[in-house]
Structure formats: C-alpha cells, structure tokens
Amino acid sequence: MDVLSDAVTMLRTGRPHSNSNRLWAPWGIRFPPTDGAGFHIVLMGTCWLLRAGARPLRLAAGDIVLLPREPGHALADDPASPLTDFRADPHGPIPSEHADGYGGSGPGGRTVTELLCGAYMFDRFRLHPLLADLPDVIHLPARVGHHPRLRAAVDLLGAELAEPRAGAAASMSALLDLLLLYMLRAWFDDHSTGSSTGSSTGWSAALADPAVSAALRAMHAEPEMPWTVRELGARVGLSRTVFAQRFTALVGKPPLAYLTWWRMTMAARLLRETDSPLPAVARRCGYSSEFAFAKTFKREFGVPPGAFRREGRPPSGSPADASPLTATLS
C-alpha cells in the first residue's frame, strides 16, 4: 500500500459519474456546491472557469481542472455570459438548453466547446492531510508529452462515453477511479519538482523524498507493527535523528504522531464499516492491549470505540472535528 492510495480509499464514497457535452456559444452553467470533488476536461474549444472571489481561469483544449473542494463554480464560453443553474441528473448530460448542437460550429458560425465532466463523492470526515493540503483548483494545462498516462485515461474514458458497450458501467467506474489518481499524481509530480511553485516542503515534497515516502509506505503497509523512530530510520537508511527531523519537516508531524493518526483513522473506518470485534480492530491497528487502544481512541475522537461504532461519528466539537493538519496526533 501507499499513502496516496490509502488517502483516496478512505475519502471516496459511492460511485463516481461522468458525462460528455458539446455546447454552442453563448453559454454559461452554474454548478452548485457538493460534498465531493468535480473535474472538467476541455476536449475541444475553450471556456472559462468562474469562482467567487477568484479571477476567471481560461481553459483551452486539452486542459484539465480538478476541484477537490466543491463550494460551487461556473463554466462559460465567456466571463460575461449569463449563467444558468445546473439541475440535471448527475448521471446524465448537461440539459438540452445548454447543449443544443453538434459539430465544429453552430448556426451563424457559433463556436462549440466540448467538455468531459465528472464528479466524485467524498466523505470528508477525517480527511487525510495529503488531500487537505491540495489547492482549491488543480489546473493541469495541456502540454505535449506531459503526463501521458493521464492523457491515455482521458482518451479511454471519452471513448467509453462516446460508444458505451457491454460492461460500460464497470469500465467507467474503474476509469474514473484511475483518472482521479492520475490527476492527483500529476499535480504532486509537478509540485514535487518545484516546477510550478518551487516548494520544497509539504506533502508533494514528502512523497518525492525517498526516505520519507519509504517510511510512509512501511507504516501504511504494516500499521500493526510496533514501529519506533529508530526502526523506521534504519528501514530507510537514516539515523534516528536525521530521519525524525526530515519526516517532521515535510509531513508536519513527528513519525509516531502521524502513525497514531493513521492507526486511529483506520480504526474509525473498521468500526464504521465492519463487524470485527474490538480486540481484532485493536490488533489490526497496532495495539496488543484493548484498554490502551480504547484510551487512545477516546482521546482522539471524544468517545469510546463502542459508542463510536453505534453512532458512526464522533460528537460535534470533538478533537476529530479539527483539521488533520492541526489536530493533536499524539
């Protein structure tokens, strides 16, 4: 396992959906806030992404935008175009009043924009800091030869939408999952190299650091292991002190604080989604003592494991309601 896969798995709920649309100018669509993330891929033409309090962002053919937090946004052929609220079936195409024609141009030479749009439903309870660290908009401009796997996934998804065949439901779901991972991977790859911001800290840098990323993989692969800072440092070829300093600088928390946070996140999901007995959950999360597990869990969530399982959520205002970047992780 790896931290990105685990973070997405913990976040995703339900099935993603997608559709393709061709729109004649002038057009403008206002998308409502959702408890998830949306994406848009411009297959042909141009359009503008409009968000409250932000400058309009021009998108050209081949551009991809992912909105990890969806407070609402709009797309339009021009920033001045009137906007119509989007109220369609999320699994269907954009309504016909927005997409009333096909081809390279409409009546009177009106230009056409072709879009591939979709959405993922997220459970934002206990959001992993790797994903909490993402910007409001991830813009991946089209560049020849850049992120070829992402482009291949887009091509495959577009082909499935254009010509559905037997097994389309399964293939679409798998391709959308793959697309999400490729979009996130592309953004982390770009930022870990400093190509966009010159950033040398944060989760993009943590994933790019061989020692830190190896330690994260070890903790995610075997959270039940009685890891120590010394053992993790030895695993990645660093002294205890150097490893702890590097990990803390990039991840934002000491190694064992992060390990505790991840173990409790796993425990919460196991309690909510399985019938595993509490001792089995404790062992899976690295605790040989059920008492020690329950004590740590209550400190993190404000309720004992049994009460959490019955209620499915921590009480409002508990430590688990805090941001994963600021919550107490010890």
State residue 323's pLDDT score.
Answer: 38
Q: What is the CA radius of gyration of the chain?
A: 22
What integer is the mean pLDDT of 225-232? Answer: 96
Instruction: Compute the distance between CA of residue 302 and CA of residue 282 in angstroms, rounded to an integer.
Output: 17
At 78, the pLDDT band (50, 70, 90 cuts) reads very high
Domains and their CATH numbers in the chain? 3-192 (2.60.120.280), 209-321 (1.10.10.60)
3-state secondary structure of 211: helix
> What number of other Cβ atoms are within 10 A of residue 299's Cβ?
13
Arithmetic mean of pLDDT over the chain: 83
The torsion defined by the Cα of 104, 107, 111 and 117, in degrees rounded to 10, comes to -80
Instruction: Compute the distance between CA of residue 305 and CA of residue 314 in angstroms, rounded to an integer.
Output: 10
DSSP letter string, 222-264: -TTS---HHHHHHHTT--HHHHHHHHHHHHSS-HHHHHHHHHH
CB 247 within 8 A of CB 238: no
State residue 28's pLDDT score.
Answer: 92
pLDDT in tens, 141-188: 988 778 999 999 998 888 888 787 888 888 888 888 899 999 999 998
Instruction: Compute the distance between CA of residue 200 and CA of residue 316 in angstroms, rounded to an integer.
Output: 36
State residue 102's pLDDT score.
Answer: 33
pLDDT in tens, 12-36: 887 788 888 888 888 999 988 888 8
Q: Which tokens is 278 given?
A: 């509490």
Q: Which residue has the higher pLDDT, 322 or 81?
A: 81
Instruction: Compute the distance between CA of residue 70 and CA of residue 133 in angstroms, rounded to an integer.
Output: 15
Percentage of the chain lying above the pLDDT 70 cut: 84
Q: Is the pLDDT of residue 330 over 90?
A: no
For residue 277, the 8-state DSSP code is: -
Residue 129 CB partners (closer than 8 Å, separation 6+) = 203, 251, 252, 324, 325
State residue 193's pLDDT score.
Answer: 57
Instruction: Compute the distance between CA of residue 287 and CA of residue 167 in angstroms, rounded to an integer.
Output: 43
pTM: 0.78
Residue 228 CB partners (closer than 8 Å, separation 6+) = 256
At 271, the pLDDT band (50, 70, 90 cuts) reads very high
